[in-house]
Structures are given as structure tokens and as C-alpha cells.
Homo-oligomer: A and B are copies of this chain.
């Protein structure tokens, strides 16, 4: 298999792991900037990893999300709830149909560039709160992308059934330094350590037996 895939790369733990695991199949990495506080922090790492692996990387701004979409993720750090990642109160952080939008754009980019697949790093821990991370969504969106393109672009989401800890274990084998990834929803220079994604990140790294070098505020 040649390099025939586009990856949606945030610069967080999951998509960075996927980038390293499948780097010899990936021709293009796309980072979307939808105006969240964490976007800019993540992008720096996304770019760094692509440079290291020699993968073309572009950033696509989606300003309309910040302007029109309702989500605490697009507001100020004080609007981000604290609590466990799978708690119902994390629901305010949902950016409506974000994965649908990113996949649709990545699908058009794939078809425009003669690439056959789009990779996304959703995982099982996302399913409780985020409808556009669930297997039913992945299957339907995959069918839509295939039917809607000449080259039947395929959606690959190989982490759909994995836990965050499973992903961290893969990253450990690959030798990824997770201090060079960013997760915090509050978007500060240093991870807050308390928001849902910070908690989820810390627990996964600990469960995978990784010595977490990430600085946390608390």
C-alpha cells in the first residue's frame, strides 16, 4: 500500500498516535482551526510531528464555527466544565457535528488530490458524550463519503473500539513523547489538569505505565 491517506490531525494524544502508527500510509495531514482555545496549542505539536515524519501538513480555518456554533469549547476558559470526560456535564463542550464537517472537508481534499482514504482518531471513550464519534456515525459517514465521490473515498477509524489507555499503550510501543501533545480544553499554556480531557489524558497515561512529563497546573 502506498501513501494514499489523509489524516485529520489535531495534535492531541489520539491523532498523534495514529500519525506515528500509520505514517507510511499517510500523504497529507489536515489540522482544522475552528476557533477553540486549544486549537493553537495543538497546532504547534501537529506541525512539529509532521515535520519530523516528512508528512505534508496544512491548516484549514473554519471561522464560521466560532461565529455561529454553540459550544463551551468555543468560549472562554471559565466556560469549560470540570469533571470526568464522560460526564453528562461535558456535553456543553460538544461542537455540533464537528467530525462530520472535518470528515467531509477531508474527503473533498482526498478526492481533489487522488487519495483514497481519510483517517480519524475517534475512540471508545468519546462515545458516551459525542454522537459523531460513535460506530453508527462512522459507518454511515463512510457510506456517504464512498457514495459521494468518484474514487469511493473510504473512512478509516481504526481506534473506534479502543480505549484511551489502549491508544497510550500503542504510543508507548512507538516511543511517542506525549509531553509533545496537547489536550486541555481550557487552552492555557500549561494543561489545567482538571478539565475532562486533562483527567482523561492523565488517567490513560498512568494506566499505560507511561511516565507523564507533561506539566499540569494542579
Chain B residues with Cβ below 8 Å from A174 are none
Interface string of A88-102 (1 = CB under 8 A from B): 000000111111110
Q: Which residues of B contact A64 (CB under 8 A)?
A: 60-61, 105
User: Which among A105, A108, A131 has the highest number of chain B CB atoms within 10 Å?
Assistant: A108
Q: Which residues of A contact B (CB under 8 A)?
A: 58, 60-61, 63-65, 68-71, 94-101, 103-105, 107-113, 131-132, 134, 136-137, 140-141, 143-150, 153
A101 CB to nearest B CB, Å: 4
A131: chain B residues within 8 A (beta carbon) = 147-150
| Given known contacts A103-B104, A104-B104, A144-B144, A149 and B109 CB-to-CB distance under 8 angstroms | no
Please determine whether B141 and A137 come into contact, CB atoms closer than 8 angstroms.
no
CB distance from A140 to the nearest CB of B (A): 4
Is there an interface contact between A148 and B144, defined as CB atoms closer than 8 Å? no
Our pick among B60, B69, B71, B100 for the contact of A144 (Cβ within 8 Å) is: B100
Q: Which residues of B contact A148 (CB under 8 A)?
A: 97, 99-100, 131-132, 134, 137, 140-141
Q: Which of A63, A69, A71, A147 has the most B CB atoms < 10 Å from its CB?
A: A147
Chain A facing B: main interface SS = helix
Copies in the complex: 2
CB contacts (< 8 Å) of A97 on chain B: these are 104, 107-108, 111, 145, 148-149, 153
B149–A140 contact, CB under 8 A? Answer: no
The 3 closest A-B pairs by CB, nearest first: A96-B111, A132-B148, A140-B143
In the bound complex, do residue A109 and residue B68 qualify as a contact, i.e. CB atoms below 8 Å apart? Answer: yes
Task: Chain B residues near A98: list those with CB within 8 A.
Answer: 108
Query: In angstroms, how far is the closest chain B Cβ from the Cβ of A20?
Result: 25
Task: Say whether B105 contacts A101, CB under 8 Å.
Answer: yes
Cβ–Cβ contact A112 & B58, under 8 A: no
A90 to chain B, nearest CB (A): 13
CB distance from A136 to the nearest CB of B (A): 4
